[in-house]
Structure 1
Amino acid sequence: MRTVCFYFQVHQPFRIKPYRFFDIGEDHYYWDDYLNRNVIRKVAQKCYLPMNALLMELIQKYNGRFKVAFSISGTFLDQMEAYAPDVLESFQKLVATGHAELLNETYSHSLAALKSKEEFFSLVKKHQEKIKQLFNGYSPTVFRNTELIYSDQIGEMVAELGYQAMLTEGAKHVLGWKSPNYVYSNANKPELKVLLKNFRLSDDIAFRFSNKTWADFPLTTDKFVSWLNAIPKEEQVVNLFMDYETFGEHQWAETGIFEFMRHLPEAVFRNSDFSFSTPSEVASAVPAVSKIHVPTAISWADEERDLTAWLGNDMQDEAFDRLYELEKQIRKIDDPEILRDWEYLQTSDHFYYMCTKFFSDGSVHEYFSPYDTPYDAFINYMNVLSDFILRVKEKAS
């Protein structure tokens, strides 16, 4: 079995509105509805709607031989319901074909796995219920943690929840001489399969596709398939993991990214012995070659493939620790607005905006941030958190 596994992260955070020090104790609504709606509608027109239509075209054209997988965050699902029901319907139609797999994750795209097993389990189960509700009883069997964050311990927790497989980054410092193009298993719970992103081939599409200074520009389907064919025959699985916004948003339609995807399946079927599979199909069909040991958490972010995009400076650590200090009090409160804000404040993007890495990855962080500086992101978040702490203390007392 030689197969390509496409997986797309579909996520948008609830962005926080400008929130001043003087708003603390006065204004308890934190979310920038105008900005959030505008972002969703803009990206819907550039990416979600045209790309979903293209995937439906390919699934039908190849009678299900072409397959993909999505991890759709709860915050994105909530915004689709509020701002883009047409986008939600298009995802529902894709999943109904049986050839677009859904994965589970934490509902609020949070970093809870690094801090609290109880909160992690709570958010995963909430996401399960949301997927079941919106996708006709669908129940995923594969897990994708926020930003592909993974460690041996996180894998253990995911195995405890009953998943058959989990996705993560094929980080060089973890793999060493080994290839990401095999199936591995968790070091402590070998029943959990681990699928690793082939970051070179994934990033050729996600990041380098329109880079005219790249030695391999322009990327054609024939060129990409030749790279697949160059992979040793014993390496069976090529995992291509990327943000869904790659298509039309990060790589604009004018770059030819949609045409590349439109013609890729035909090039793969005509010129290689590769098929397409979903993560659950890979996990069921391909045995693990060995355990993979990841004692320290990895992710798919930045050159380091570690956690420093979210927890790499004092501002991020302060905000993260202050937030999770509230967990025990939150458990005592039965208030839907408090619970909503607690979950949305956990979204990893808020900490990502505070990142101060100004070198190789700084421009990437700036692209995604609604703030002028990381310090503005920190101050705005901490103002909101200060008000939230007051509300929690009042309700928990």
Structure 2
Amino acid sequence: MKTICLYFQVHQPFRFRRYRFFDIGNNHYYYDDYTNESILMKISQKCYLPTNQLLLKLIQANKGKFKVAFSISGVAIKQFQIYAPEVIESFQKLAATGQVEFLAETYCHSLVSLKDKTEFERQVNMQVDLVKELFNQEPKVFRNTELIYSDEMGDMVYKMGYKAMLTEGAKHVLGWKSPNYLYCNSINPKLKVLLKNFELSDDIAFRFGNQGWNEYPLTPEKYAQWLKDLDPKSEVINLFMDYETFGEHQWKETGIFEFLEGLPSEILKHKEFSFSTPSEVADNLQPVSSVNVPYPISWADEERDLTAWLGNEMQEEAFNKLYALLPKMQKCDDPKLNDDWTYLQASDHFYYMCTKYFSDGDVHAYFNPYESPYQAFINYMNILSDFTLRLNAAVPESVEDENISNLTQMLGQKEARIAELEASIKKMRDKDKQKKSKSKEKII
């Protein structure tokens, strides 16, 4: 008996506006509202809404036999709440079926698991609280940003109360082993580890619409046969992918929705197959062995490592300068600063700075809103500089910081007073104009 575990990642960052050097200290708003709204609305119409509707139809049609799982970042949910609340409603309809599992992850889709355990737990708890509130589920399975995983991270996640974790079935980790079994953490065997079958996942996520692919076109019948042809001893096939695969990365015109609609029934024709959520996989299967991952892996690029986000000096500098602010942020109670801190941590900002131009260059170019990685770096560092000034003013730690804070407050008060006086003068001038206008009318 083989079970299919179908999991989708849902994430959209808050994108930054072009923030120039001369904005530092003068303009504290960092976001490109027009771009954020237009992109979210476009993807909602092309992907989230139609795919959710299709999944709901498939769940109802297959009467408890078809199941899927999602992890949705907190920043994506925040944007749904602002721009497209109907998307949240469509996910709630899926949750109400009882056939959809929602996983835990970091609220801001960050790389904080590489830096600080306390901040990592805080962000996970923020996202979990949202899942409980919106979908009435308490996640028991964890999925880290971009499937980043190591032995130590797995141990940390288990101690936070999770029974299983998802990651990449990387070749350099597995060696001769197959991803089509359940594994466990090498430090704490109580944590179950589900490994992505990247070949079968990427056939859908990346190769589906490629007319130059030797397997094009991919049909539900062909894909189901590939699953059937796997080693008969295989126990679980983990198909993990971005949810934007449907309608955004693979456009409607490729036939991706027809493929998805036909896939469950085609798979379930074979009696040896079923669908399971990650929790069901962890509960129903026994690990065949531990998986040893001493250094972090991810699901990105050919290397399946961290170089997509931390592979050059620009990325390292931005990452380290951001988290150098963590001790002060832990003392900060300013809501606006805390929001900006959250959005600054999204892994996307470091991804935009990637300088890979070989096998993975096209992927990085597709997702990058900047003209170059260097422009992305400069923009981010300008914003980080302004954020640092504001944080130092809000949480002064030295006499110099306190003086800057006092001066900043004084300047702010003066600017507010000037604005009040200018408004008062304008009112007086308007009244004077009205009086003169009336007196002219009387003379006439």
- Cross-structure match for 1:73: 73
Describe the superposition over 1:301-321 as per-residue Cα deviations: whole angstroms up to 9, x where unpaired: 000000000000000000000
- Cross-structure match for 1:154: 153
Distance 2:128 2:202 in 1: 29
Distance 2:16 2:271 in 1: 47
Residue 238 of structure 2 aligns to a residue whose secondary structure is strand
- Cross-structure match for 1:260: 259
Describe the superposition over 1:369-392 as per-residue Cα deviations: whole angstroms up to 9, x where unpaired: 110100110000000000000011
Distance 1:231 1:366 in 2: 34
Contact kept? 1:19, 1:380, Cα under 8 Å: yes
Contact kept? 1:14, 1:31, Cα under 8 Å: yes
Distance 1:96 1:336 in 2: 33
Q: Does 1:248 align with 2:247?
A: yes
- Cross-structure match for 2:52: 52
Distance 1:292 1:10 in 2: 26
The structure having more radius of gyration, on CA atoms, is 2
Residue 125 of structure 1 aligns to a residue whose secondary structure is helix
Question: Which 5+ residue runs of structure 2 have no aligned equivalent?
Answer: 397-444
Distance 1:156 1:319 in 2: 28
Describe the superposition over 1:60-119 as per-residue Cα deviations: whole angstroms up to 9, x where unpaired: 001121000000000000000000001110001101111111000000000000011111
Distance 2:272 2:251 in 1: 30
Residue 118 of structure 2 aligns to a residue whose secondary structure is helix
TM-score (norm 2): 0.88
- Cross-structure match for 2:100: 100
1:74 aligned partner, one-letter code: G
Contact kept? 1:225, 1:272, Cα under 8 Å: no
- Cross-structure match for 1:328: 327
What are the within-5 Å matches in structure 2 for residues 201-212 of structure 1? 201-212=200-211
- Cross-structure match for 2:402: none
Contact kept? 1:67, 1:99, Cα under 8 Å: yes
Question: Which 5+ residue runs of structure 1 have no aligned equivalent?
Answer: none
Distance 1:87 1:337 in 2: 26
Distance 1:274 1:135 in 2: 28
- Cross-structure match for 1:222: 221
Describe the superposition over 1:177-202 as per-residue Cα deviations: whole angstroms up to 9, x where unpaired: 00000000001011100000000000
Residue 370 of structure 1 aligns to a residue whose secondary structure is coil
- Cross-structure match for 1:373: 372
Distance 1:131 1:338 in 2: 24
2:234 aligned partner, one-letter code: E
Distance 2:130 2:269 in 1: 39
- Cross-structure match for 1:121: 121
Distance 2:71 2:54 in 1: 18
Structure 1 outlier segments of 4+, above 4 Å? none
Describe the superposition over 1:199-252 as per-residue Cα deviations: whole angstroms up to 9, x where unpaired: 000000000001111111111111111111111121110000000000000000
Residue 239 of structure 1 aligns to a residue whose secondary structure is strand
Distance 1:213 1:18 in 2: 37
Distance 1:73 1:253 in 2: 25
- Cross-structure match for 1:6: 6
Offset at 1:271? 3.4
- Cross-structure match for 2:177: 178
Between 6-15 and 209-218, the greater mean CA deviation after superposition:
209-218
Describe the superposition over 1:260-311 as per-residue Cα deviations: whole angstroms up to 9, x where unpaired: 0100011111135211000000000001011110001000000000000000
Percent of aligned positions with the same letter in both sequences? Answer: 63
What are the within-5 Å matches in structure 2 for residues 210-359 of structure 1? 210-271=209-270, 273-359=272-358
- Cross-structure match for 2:130: 130
Residue 307 of structure 2 aligns to a residue whose secondary structure is coil
- Cross-structure match for 1:63: 63
Distance 1:262 1:64 in 2: 16
Count, aligned residues: 396
Distance 1:9 1:220 in 2: 23
Which structure is higher in helix share?
2
Residue 138 of structure 2 aligns to a residue whose secondary structure is coil
Describe the superposition over 1:337-395 as per-residue Cα deviations: whole angstroms up to 9, x where unpaired: 11111111000000000000001111111111110100110000000000000011111
Contact kept? 1:353, 1:369, Cα under 8 Å: yes
Describe the superposition over 1:138-192 as per-residue Cα deviations: whole angstroms up to 9, x where unpaired: 2010000000000001101100111010000000000000000000000101110
Distance 1:14 1:189 in 2: 36
Residue 310 of structure 1 aligns to a residue whose secondary structure is helix
2:13 aligned partner, one-letter code: P
Ranked by relative contact order (alpha carbons within 8 Å, sequence separation 6 or more), the top structure is 1
Distance 1:99 1:355 in 2: 38
CA RMSD of superposed structures (Å): 0.7
What are the within-5 Å matches in structure 2 for residues 17-56 of structure 1? 17-56=17-56
Residue 308 of structure 2 aligns to a residue whose secondary structure is coil
- Cross-structure match for 1:110: 110
